[in-house]
Homo-oligomer: A and B are copies of this chain.
Amino acid sequence: MMNPKAISKQTLLRLPSYLSYLKSLPEHGCENVSATMIASALGLNDVQVRKDLACVSKKGRPKLGYVTEELISDIESFLGYDDLNDAIIIGAGRLGGALLSYEGFNEYGLNIVAAFDVDESKIGTEICGKKVLDISKIKELCKRMKIRIGIITVPGHSAQKVCDILVDSGIFAIWNFAPVHLKVPDNILVQQENMAASLAVLSAHLAESIKKNEI
């Protein structure tokens, strides 16, 4: 599409679940798929699904729905899953290690090339074949390899410092697992992975359920 209509953030967030649902369908017998099907499988409204799909794919056909294969590849290419973005990870602790060793990211177009840490005992080692480097080398590596994504998995108190280094190194987008609000220039995206917020939702629901059940 030459002039894609601006896509809402909500829509963007739903696309990956459509994709994962579509991929879970059996190869045979599902050449076509309707918005109604997708919506009911994911607990969404069918009009919403149709509108979302209209942003990224061709028109569906009345009575038939969409061509499953086309839908999959359109969503994948819209999300940029078909070419890999290199990324680095800062903080080679438990969480950093878990992310480093998660093979699945390649499927989502993310390729983690190296990790950085300040801990001397970690520097020089490898985690799942990825080198752990001294944090002072971030800028040089980012420039040389044109890295544009940084993943922050350091403790909260040093996250802003790491963030500043990343910005200075020419990073465009930051995926932040530290539970702090990062200050960045306007053109840089921070995607906050907010586990504390998720937990808040869980525990509020729990408190409510308990109240209901025990009264």
Binding site for B on A (CB under 8 A): 7, 9, 12-17, 19-21, 24, 41-43, 78-81, 85, 94-95, 97-98, 101-102, 104-105, 108-110, 148-149, 156, 172-173, 175, 179-181, 187, 189, 191, 193-207, 209-210
Bound form: Cα–Cα A80–B110 in Å: 36
Kindly report which residue of chain B lies nearest to residue A105, judged by CB atoms. Answer: B199
Tell which of B156, B196, B204 touches A108, judged by Cβ atoms closer than 8 Å. Answer: B196
Kindly report which residue of chain B lies nearest to residue A44, judged by CB atoms. Answer: B181
Which residues of chain B have C-beta atoms less than 8 A from A203's C-beta?
Answer: 79-81, 85, 108-110
Contact present for A175 and B202 (CB under 8 Å): yes
Contact present for B98 and A12 (CB under 8 Å): no
Bound form: Cα–Cα A67–B206 in Å: 28
- The quantity of this chain's copies bound in the complex is 2
Seed contacts A80-B204, A110-B203, A173-B209; 18 additional CB < 8 Å A-B pairs = A12-B201, A16-B179, A16-B200, A17-B196, A17-B197, A19-B196, A41-B181, A78-B204, A85-B203, A94-B98, A95-B102, A97-B98, A148-B206, A148-B209, A172-B205, A189-B209, A193-B195, A193-B198
How far, in Å, is A202 (CB) from chain B's closest CB?
5
Kindly report which residue of chain B lies nearest to residue A195, judged by CB atoms. Answer: B193
Kindly report which residue of chain B lies nearest to residue A78, judged by CB atoms. Answer: B204
Which residues of chain B have C-beta atoms less than 8 A from A207's C-beta?
Answer: 80
A12 and B204 contact, Cβ closer than 8 Å, known pairs A20-B156, A20-B196, A21-B181: yes
Greatest chain B CB density within 10 A among A19, A105, A207 is at A207
How far, in Å, is A88 (CB) from chain B's closest CB?
13
Contact present for A204 and B79 (CB under 8 Å): yes
A43 and B181 contact, Cβ closer than 8 Å, known pairs A20-B156, A97-B98, A109-B199: yes
Bound form: Cα–Cα A210–B196 in Å: 32
Bound form: Cα–Cα A201–B80 in Å: 10
Contact present for B206 and A20 (CB under 8 Å): no
Bound form: Cα–Cα A13–B193 in Å: 12
